[in-house]
Chains A and B, each alone.
Chain A
């Protein structure tokens, strides 16, 4: 049984003059200890997905369909009390901005102890000991001294390490990381990513990594989901997607990277831009930018083609599979 299973999740936002579907038909599963990446550009719905999984969609948005099963239990059917015992405890979350997790007026130690005691009945002393050991596990130098510091006394990279330490406090089985290194420099990004990867591997924690950076996905995850305009367009093993993308959008995204072109040559750009969620084209949302577009693409939303443990929503791929 999958650890986390998302079924046909749909999120809508009421807007003036109608409703906007920010996420449609999101289904995937995450196994114990597995690292899954969700890739997409801004507006693809990847952050909404993360919040929807935790039932944290910001108002006035709401989950209009679908369900999220954690260890077989439907999160929507749980009482608020039970939901809290899962959220932040069994499922931890790391945001892009460490200051979304850290309270600027409390010391790191206070926040960590508080977080632990919210989920477990332990003494202050025990809680502090656990906190220090977690800070040490994320390679923070002089962890005991850091306990009495305030978040602003730390650098951006250190803060993100503290956030990871807080996420690890309750020994969760899933970590959802939403662009955890986007605000950081390359050298620090590499360190944090490696840390996250090692922690997940060593403790058999599942990771849901949300990012726009294909390079990061390739380094950290085993499986990848590519999203476009609120919908999954491709899913499969990370290596096979990067080495051999099927969906024209994934293909374009990878090809547009400078390292895929000879120096000084024109980059392979995808024409146009992602539609805003309020004006998603009919049929396949990608069809106005797609070189393989046919009449069918303009009218009918493509279903998922399943082949070789891959899943693609594209009429063109489906047809190619038939003729093969």
Chain B
């Protein structure tokens, strides 16, 4: 174990990270956001899911630095009287959970299908890749809107509200597997030609073992890069769906549904209900994408400079 740690410590990865200010700042912001949101029940002043803590009389209070501000609600409250800060912390947690699990689902599907397509080639490959092409020709949002709308209409809003988080993970997860499948397939094709794969074939190993034990670990770098970007994309997709009213319900708001719920009041002067969650969303997605870009630069040997 110490040996792996030592290898990591001496690696170019860490070295380049330490010299890149953008990467350090992005990483720090991301870690802070993740920590805050996952510790939300501990640090948030209110529990937005608890109806007893919400008083409709507290609604539409502006942030504390404005004239009508209330020191209890630092970033003000929304139309239902929920504390903005607490609701945003909980909302960020939901957004990140959906992003992570959707990407987990995408990657499982995409890696498995990409490996199979790349390793076996031939008809399986053509079939899977055409399937991916068809899937990609529908935009994720369109698929999601149709599926979620149909579900909502056929099973009722109540059931939907309960299952919303799973539905979002499923829909975003399944809609984006071709991204992974293509990336994995491309790197499998490149790795398959290398002699170490021939060497294990000469040993006589089963194709399954060759795929998972030998080829897959060598395609991890591109998977890592695409995963970061995909988490950001999934968070964006979720926000877009929630904004359209197809995502998280109002009583369990994600960042997207918060933006949506505040959007009605933006012209009546309550700008903070939309603006704060929107800013948070932008920062969250931005730092993830910056990290992803940085990682792509570092892990891609073709772009190797320095």
List the interface of chain A (C-beta within 8 A of B): 16, 60
Query: Across the A-B interface, how many residue pairs have beta carbons closer than 8 Å?
Result: 3
Kindly state the separation between the CA atoms of A60 and B305 in the bound complex, as whole angstroms: 9
Contacts of B306 in A (CB 8 A): 16, 60
Number of interface residues of B (CB under 8 A): 2
Q: Which residues of the partner chain A approach B15 to less than 8 Å between Cβ atoms? A: 16
Residue of B nearest to A59 (CB): B305
- Chain B residues numbered 284-306 whose CB sits less than 8 Å from any CB in chain A: 306
Q: Which residues of B contact A60 (CB under 8 A)?
A: 306
A240 CB to nearest chain B CB (Å): 42
Q: CA separation between A16 and B15, bound complex, in Å?
A: 9
The 3 closest A-B pairs by CB, nearest first: A16-B15, A60-B306, A16-B306
Give B306 Cβ to nearest chain A Cβ, in Å: 8
| Distance of A16 Cα from B18 Cα, bound (Å) | 12
- B97 → chain A closest CB, angstroms: 38
Q: Name 3 A/B residue pairs within 8 A (Cβ), A-sorted.
A: A16-B15, A16-B306, A60-B306
Which residue of chain A is the closest to B15 with respect to CB atoms?
Answer: A16
Residue of B nearest to A17 (CB): B15
Residues 1-37 of B contacting A (Cβ, < 8 Å): 15
A16, B306: Cα distance in complex, Å? 9
A16–B10 Cα distance when bound, in Å, is 11
CA distance A60 to B306 in the complex (A): 7
Q: Give, as a whole number of angstroms, the nearest-CB distance from B44 to chain A.
A: 43
Q: Which residue of A lies closest to B16 (CB)?
A: A16
- Cα separation A16 to B305 with both chains bound (whole Å): 12
State how many angstroms separate the Cβ of A142 from the closest Cβ of chain B.
37
CB distance from A14 to the nearest CB of B (A): 10
Tell me the residues in window 55-94 of chain B with beta carbons closer than 8 Å to chain A beta carbons: none
Residue of chain A at shortest CB distance from B19? A16
A212 shortest CB reach to chain B, Å: 23
Across-interface contacts of A16 in B (CB, < 8 A)? 15, 306
Closest-by-CB residue of B relative to A60 is B306
- Report A127 CB to chain B, min CB distance, Å: 37
- Bound state CA distance, A47 and B104, in angstroms? 48
Q: How far is the CB of A61 from chain B (nearest CB, A)?
A: 12
A127 vs B131: C-alpha distance when bound (angstroms): 55
| Cβ of B264 to closest chain A Cβ, rounded Å | 55
Compute how far the CA of A28 lies from the CA of B15 in the bound complex, rounded to whole angstroms: 39
Cα distance A6–B82 in the bound complex, in angstroms: 79
Closest residue to B12 on the A side, CB-wise?
A16
Minimum CB–CB distance from B6 to chain A (whole Å) comes to 16
Q: How far is the CB of A94 from chain B (nearest CB, A)?
A: 26
Compute how far the CA of A213 lies from the CA of B306 in the bound complex, rounded to whole angstroms.
Answer: 32
Distance (whole angstroms) from the CB of A288 to the closest CB of chain B:
24
Which residue on chain B has the smallest CB distance to residue A16? B15
Q: State the Cβ distance, B18 to closest chain A Cβ, in Å.
A: 10
CA distance A142 to B15 in the complex (A): 56
Q: Mark B231-262, 1 if CB is under 8 A from A, else 0.
A: 00000000000000000000000000000000
Closest Cβ of chain B to A177, distance in Å, is 28
Looking at the assembled complex, report how far the CB atom of B23 sits from the nearest CB atom of chain A, in whole angstroms: 16
Q: How far is the CA of A60 from the CA of B15 in the complex (A)?
A: 18
Cα-based distance from A295 to B15 in the complex (angstroms): 38
Query: In the assembly, what is the distance between CA of A41 and CA of B233, in Å?
Result: 50
| Min C-beta distance of B16 to chain A, whole Å | 9
Query: Within the complex, what minimum Cβ distance (angstroms) separates B169 from chain A?
Result: 42
Looking at the assembled complex, report how far the CB atom of A18 sits from the nearest CB atom of chain B, in whole angstroms: 13
| Complex CA–CA separation, A16 to B12 (angstroms) | 9
Q: How far apart are B192's CB and chain A's nearest CB, in angstroms?
A: 25
Q: Give the complex CA separation of A60 and B304 in angstroms.
A: 13
Return A278 CB to nearest CB of chain B, in Å.
14
Q: Looking at the assembled complex, report how far the CB atom of A79 sits from the nearest CB atom of chain B, in whole angstroms.
A: 29
Nearest residue (CB) in B for A15 is: B306
Chain A proximity of B113: nearest CB distance (Å): 35
Min CB gap A58→B, angstroms: 11
Report the minimum CB–CB distance from A314 to chain B (whole Å).
36
Give the distance to chain B from A138, nearest Cβ to Cβ, in Å: 34
Whole-angstrom distance between the alpha carbons of A52 and B152 in the complex?
71
Shortest Cβ distance from residue B175 to the other chain A in the assembled complex, whole angstroms: 39
| Distance A38 CA – B306 CA, assembled complex (angstroms) | 29
Q: For the complex, what is the distance from the CA of A16 to the CA of B11, rounded to whole Å?
A: 11
* Distance, CA A14 to CA B306, complexed state (A): 9
Least Cβ–Cβ distance between B15 and chain A, in angstroms: 6
In the complex the two chains form, what is the Cα distance from A22 to B47 in whole Å? 64
